[in-house]
Amino acid sequence: MRLRHVVVCGLAALVLAGLSACSSSKAGAAAFVGDHRIDEADVNTYVVPGFTVPSANAQQQQQQQTPPRVIALNSLIQVELMTQLLDKSLGGVPSEAELAALHDEALATVFGIQQTGQDADAALRDLVARSGLKESFVPVVVQQGELTMAVVKKINAQRQSDIANAVKKAGIPVTVNPRYGSWSVADAAISGPVLPSFLTLGPTASPMPQP
């Protein structure tokens, strides 16, 4: 299924919005999705210690590198948010087999990855590594994409606001520790620095570089 206008909330849906801060009584928390807590330790699990941005050409140097922790947290939030949305409002979370069947379509639609199957996973591993995240983060991204694709199909989403509206209608609150940025209700994603171009979403994504 090709969605010409859908802009789903994945690794690259980071735009400026209002601040949603965690209180001091929630020390050590990176975010909350409903009652589900995501600890900073959970985020740090996926970050390569001492990561530095690789040297880049002039065009790439003009792009701001998103901190790995922000990328990791946004994906962890999306996995939980899409799970709760499906479970609460959209008839339940699909089975593992049903989600796996969405693999190629999810990576293409949500992350703009043109390869399929193992080639898509290999390309994703390479790009995740370039972002300062461990290989163990790849399954999180895949799960995020598959769950988001399930939501897209359930509500026939044509744009990011369709998903954000579904989240608002379901009444699922999200709060984010301000050190990671802020939560955009309008986009249902963390707002903050611009992510690498290879993580631009949907059919408008830049061509995927070969690993």
How far is Cα 210 from Cα 124, in angstroms, rounded to an integer? 10
Question: DSSP characters for 160-184?
Answer: HHHHHHHHHHHT--EEE-GGG-EEE
pLDDT at residue 138, as a whole number: 94
Q: What pTM does this model have?
A: 0.78
| Residue-level pLDDT, tens digit, the chain, 211 residues | 555 445 444 443 333 233 333 344 477 899 999 999 999 999 999 999 988 766 555 444 445 678 899 999 999 999 999 999 999 999 999 999 999 999 999 998 888 888 888 898 898 998 899 889 999 999 999 999 999 999 999 999 988 889 999 999 999 999 999 999 899 998 899 985 443 333 334 443 333 222 2
Which residues lie across from 32 on neighbouring strands? 37, 175
* 158 within 8 A of 6, measured Cβ to Cβ: yes
Q: What does the pLDDT read at residue 20?
A: 39
- The alpha-helical segments, DSSP class H, found in the chain are 40-44, 58-61, 68-89, 96-100, 103-111, 117-130, 138-155, 160-170
Domain ranges of the chain: 24-48+68-204
Q: CA 184, CA 158: separation in Å to the nearest integer?
A: 19
Report CA-CA distances (Å) from 108 to 19, 74, 183: 31, 19, 25
**Lookup result for tokens 């600890």:** 39
Q: How far apart are CA 139 and CA 121, in angstroms?
A: 9
How high is the pLDDT of residue 192? 59
